[in-house]
Chains A and B, each alone.
Chain A
Amino acid sequence: MNRLGSVLKHICMLLFSVLISIAICLVAFFILSYTNWSETSGKMNSATNVLSELESNGNGYSLSENGQKMLSEMNEFAFVLDENGKVIWAYDKPEDVKDKFTASEIAVFSKWFLGNYPVTVRVCGENDGDLLVVGSRRTDLAKYNLTYSVKGLYELRYIIPGLAGCVFVIIFLLSGLSERRERRERDRARACWIDGISHDIRTPLALVMGYAEEWQDDSSLSGEQAKQAHQMVIACNRVKSLISDLNLTMRLDYKMQPLKKDKFVLSAMLRETIAELVNSGEATDVEPDIPQECNRILVRADRRLMQRAVTNLIINAARYKSSGPVRVRMSEKNNRCFVYVENKMDRISEEELTNLNRNTKTRFSGDGTAMHGTGLQLVRQIAKAHGGKLVFTGDDTDGCHLIAALSFRK
């Protein structure tokens, strides 16, 4: 559904880009046309108005008062050339405009400028034999001509798709950036929310855990009550681990947890982890099987994260074992370290092993509800961050054993 939505979204973006490009081309075309037209029409109007006020009287020309007023107001000048190019009438003609022009000069200024004066030319006089030239001051008017080639206009067929492509790429990039920013903000908001909830849970949980601990050691309470209090302490520890796992998983997911790699003796870390679990009562029957020669093995890893991974594996094994102790072993091969956490089970089906080894990238199932196994998911993330993995295998040689093998680069 998400993939289909994404495809539809991109198709819409493409269509939108095409429409935008066509609109840009049309707007550009009309703006240029309008500019051309308005520039020209302004002059045309001015020259046409002057022409209407110009009177021919056999010997020459005269401009009505209205025409003179109009030229003065527009700061323009005007003159008439006869068929030989000679100025036969003028009004307010600048001194640097000469009195006679050749045919080629007339051809040039009729299209462009006379000197620096933008001018407009109209035919006048009897039999249309003379030319009325109306000029503006140098700083008053810009003059340019645009000529559209019909063939060029047809080229828009190619320009529009190209432009559409560019617009599409720009929109795509902007949309990608915006999406990434939105996702980052959403992740951050979610992280803050989980962080806030975790924080709010921890303080009341500290109260429950503290009083339960007091009761479990209270000699005035019956054995049964002390046992119940002990169960409360264990449950509190479980919630505490869950909160930590949730936070850490999220932080690793959103790359908010930088690795702090240090060199340490792996066997010492394993012993410390087991001792902490046994001391806190989170796991009672854990047997390390670490040969003396393993005490030389140094690893470079984030100790805190590795400790968390091993803790989760041991707690998981202790929770689901059928009988006997949880065994913890380690080995080293080809610059890789292996930590094995083993527990006895009544039976392990192939399906269960497949499920355990399934690398769930998201912690939510298809219907949006949370999946179990946040602890193991975290172990996988930590292993991955250290260039390793977590693999579950079964061993039937002496009863049914489930072995979790955590491997990582030394």
Chain B
Amino acid sequence: MDFISGAGYNINMNTHRKILIVDDEEKLRTMLSDHLVNAGYTICEAGSCASAKEMMQRVRPDAVILDVMLPDGDGFSLFSDLRLICPDAPVLFLSARDEDSAKLTGLGLGADDYITKPFLLKELELRIAAVIRRVYGDDMQKTVSHFGTTTVNWGSAEVQRNDGSQTTLTLKEFSLLKKLYENKGNIVTIDALCSALWDGDLFGYENTLMVHVRTLREKIEEDPSHPQYILTARGLGYKMSKEVQ
């Protein structure tokens, strides 16, 4: 069986994409495959460079998770071959060596991301979602999220409240909410938020960021002074509650 399709929960916006997992450790492939299928992706697997190339030709995956060490070659060389077959498919390297990260950046291969073993599956899922989103954009237009009784339509940036009132998010509020949503359950530092909103350092934007967070809470939260979904991580940044649907 080449493909394992997922019809599970739909926390990411870019699911149902085809992902090729290339790793010589079958048990690890199975674990990754099960997890990503549950996350809604379609998975195909390869255990060697040769089968990976063959699979790339045949399946044309949307993204590749690629182990650095393979029985018939190394991931770095395979990466160049895969780029020729599917130039647009983002590649996330899996490595079992700390030095590989330095090598990846040093070589300037243009890999989209890398993660060192062992890793948290959620982190891998977030990373693969991020690289797919970076390359293909996202499918947020089709989805809505529920913050308790408040609904956010990602396509129109409209916020529908339980009392029937409707407001629209500003561009900065939308970007802020999206960044927090993409990292749901995790703290996002004020520096990362500023970088997402203004593409720059934090310095000079701290107070403006706080203003945006306050107005966003007013639109999303039932009680903005006691927020349930956009939480403050004191001295660090903000975190979106896992309870957001």
Find residues 180-221 in chain B having any chain A CB closer than 8 Å to their own CB: 186-192, 201-203, 206
A215 CB to nearest chain B CB (Å): 11
Q: Mark A203-242, 1 if CB is under 8 A from B, else 0.
A: 1011111110110000000000000000001001000100
Name the B residues within 8 Å of A236 (CB-CB): 118
Chain B: CB-nearest residue to A268: B191
Is B134 interfacial (CB-CB < 8 Å)? no
- Partner among A195, A287, A288, A295 whose Cβ is within 8 Å of the Cβ of B203: A295
Q: Taking A271-B236, A287-B235 as contacts, is the C-beta distance between A210 and B35 under 8 angstroms?
A: yes
Contact of A195 among B31, B97, B186, B191 (CB under 8 A): B97
A340→B202 CA distance, assembly (Å): 22
Cα distance A236–B188 when bound, in Å? 24
Q: A199-B96, A214-B35, A295-B203 are in contact. Are A275 and B122 (CB under 8 A)?
A: no
Any chain B CB within 8 A of the CB of A395? no
Chain B residues within an 8 Å CB radius of A195: 97, 99
A315 at interface by CB-CB < 8 Å: no
Inter-chain contact B233/A205, CB cutoff 8 Å = no
Question: Contacts A205-B117, A210-B118, A236-B118: A265 and B98 contacting too (C-beta < 8 A)?
Answer: no
A195 to chain B minimum Cβ distance, whole angstroms, is 7
Contacts A271-B237, A275-B237, A295-B202 given; indicate if A202 touches B96 (C-beta within 8 A). Answer: yes
B119: chain A residues within 8 A (beta carbon): 206, 209-210
On chain A, the residues within 8 Å of B202 by CB distance are 265, 267-268, 295
User: Are the CB atoms of A288 and B236 closer together than 8 Å?
Assistant: yes
The answer to whether A213 touches B121, judged by C-beta atoms less than 8 angstroms apart, is: yes
Alpha-carbon separation in the docked complex, A377 to B121 (Å): 30
| Majority DSSP secondary structure for residues of B touching A | mixed
Per-position contact with A for B82-118: 1 when CB-CB < 8 Å, else 0?
0000000000000011110010000000000000111
How many residues on A have C-beta within 8 angstroms of the other chain's C-beta atoms? Answer: 39
CB-contact partner of B235 in A213, A251, A279, A289, under 8 A: A289
Q: Mark A265-304, 1 if CB is under 8 A from B, else 0.
A: 1011001101100111000000111101001100000000
Asked if B25 lies at the interface with its beta carbon under 8 angstroms from chain A, I say yes
Closest A residue to B206 by beta carbon equals A292
Q: Are A278 and B233 in contact (CB under 8 A)?
A: yes
Q: Smallest distance from the beta carbon of B8 to chain A beta carbons, Å?
A: 13
Whether B235 pairs with A265 at a CB distance below 8 angstroms is no
Q: Smallest Cβ distance from A194 to chain B, in angstroms?
A: 11
Some 26 contacts from A to B, beta carbons below 8 A apart, are A198-B96, A198-B97, A202-B116, A202-B117, A202-B118, A205-B117, A206-B119, A207-B27, A210-B32, A213-B121, A213-B122, A233-B120, A247-B98, A265-B191, A265-B203, A268-B202, A271-B236, A272-B191, A275-B186, A275-B187, A275-B189, A279-B187, A280-B123, A287-B234, A292-B206, A295-B202
